[in-house]
Amino acid sequence: MRDVFQAIADPTRREILGMIAYRSLNVNAVSGQFKISRAAVYKHIKILREAGLVEIKQEGRERFCHAKMEKLAVVSDWVEQYRKLWNQKLDSLEAYLEKLQNKK
Amino acid sequence: MRDVFQAIADPTRREILGMIAYRSLNVNAVSGQFKISRAAVYKHIKILREAGLVEIKQEGRERFCHAKMEKLAVVSDWVEQYRKLWNQKLDSLEAYLEKLQNKK
DNA sequence: TATAAATGAAACCTTTTGGTTTCACAATGC
DNA sequence: GCATTGTGAAACCAAAAGGTTTCATTTATA
């Protein structure tokens, strides 16, 4: 399974996710929003699916793309572990470490 | 300036950030932790710097890499806007939308 | 049934990535 | 002064990314 971080690295793919976040769309509806070819958009959708961020369900001849945002949890977890480093700049540990750093 | 999402897409770069999150290290200290060449690690550091995630300060002949985790805020913001979509699965809006989706 | 619509996938191309080795240079240390 | 240490950058490479056009297949429709 493809890395979620890598999947969301491309701006087009983030846009696709935003587009289907609240309502699923079929492949044509998604690709219609972009200037690049349908095939190119399809490849992006495929990558998102490989990362688990999108699920595709067939309905007749259409395939609807459903966003699985819970897969973003791994990104959230990674970022949040560092939040204290920029949110609580006056944190005592931070202050201590910075003092060490400057003294060096 | 380079896109932060793209900067953190590479696992080696995320590892570098974790390595210097709490204490700055010079380029050699960082590259010493990897099996790939110093030049390769240096390129990763350069990309992180271009994204604003790392700042380099010279001290004598050494260059210390300081992590600027606050630049991760853009990632945090993007992810968090979708948190309700997976955290509050019983949310009324969510339920309503899913009902619409299923009915279709 | 013949056409049109919606996709999936293949073949091909150019640019980016991620690595490597090598070389030049400034700051230190013997 | 000279060898060593710590870097930055260039030249080069193979593989991966991101696009394009084209073609085959399945499902609806006139």
On whether any CB of chain B is under 8 Å from the CB of A48, the answer is no
Question: Residue A104 — pLDDT band, cuts 50, 70, 90?
Answer: very low
- The structure tokens listed for B7 are 């900067």
Tell me which chain A residues have a C-beta less than 8 angstroms from the C-beta of B80: 76
Q: Which residue of A3, A72, A100 is in closest CB contact with B82?
A: A72
Q: End-to-end alpha-carbon separation of chain A, Å?
A: 44
Q: Which residue of B has its CA nearest to A18?
A: B82
3-state secondary structure of B25: strand
Residues with CB under 7 A from strand C: A 26-29, 38-39, 42, 45-46, 56, 61-64; B 6, 9-10, 12, 35-37, 39-40, 43-44, 47, 60-61
Between CA B49 and CA A95 the distance in angstroms is 23
Query: CB–CB of B22/A96 below 8 Å?
Result: no
Question: Residue A84 — pLDDT band, cuts 50, 70, 90?
Answer: confident
**Residue B84, pLDDT score:** 86
Interface A-B, measured as beta-carbon pairs within 8 A, has a size of: 72
Domain B4-103 has CATH 1.10.10.10: yes
Task: Among A96-100, B71-75, B91-95, name the most confident range.
Answer: B71-75
Least confident range from B25-39, B54-68, B90-104: namely B90-104
Q: Which long-range contacts (CB under 8 A, 24 or more apart) does B51-59 make?
A: B51/B1, B51/B2, B51/B3, B51/B4, B51/B6, B51/B7, B51/B8, B52/B1, B52/B4, B53/B4, B53/B7, B53/B8, B53/B17, B54/B16, B54/B17, B54/B20, B57/B24, B59/B26
How many H helices and E strands in chain A? 7, 3
Q: Nearest CA of chain B to the CA of A27: how many Å?
A: 16
pLDDT in tens, B9-53: 999 999 999 999 999 999 999 999 999 999 999 999 999 999 999
**What are φ and ψ of residue B91, in 5° steps?**
-55, 145
**What are φ and ψ of residue B48, in 5° steps?**
-65, -35
On whether any CB of chain A is under 8 Å from the CB of B72, the answer is yes
Nucleotides of D under 7 A from a protein CB: 5-11, 17-22, 26-28
Between CA B22 and CA B60 the distance in angstroms is 22
Question: CB of residue A6 closer than 7 A to nucleic acid strand D?
Answer: yes
Q: Which residue of B has its CA nearest to A100?
A: B23
Question: Residue A21 — pLDDT band, cuts 50, 70, 90?
Answer: very high
Tell me which chain A residues have a C-beta less than 8 angstroms from the C-beta of B72: 79, 82, 86
Please report, for chain A, the start and end positions of each structural domain, with discontinuous segments joined by +.
4-103
pLDDT in tens, A52-72: 999 999 999 999 999 999 999
Sequence-distant (6+) residues with CB within 8 A of A81 are none
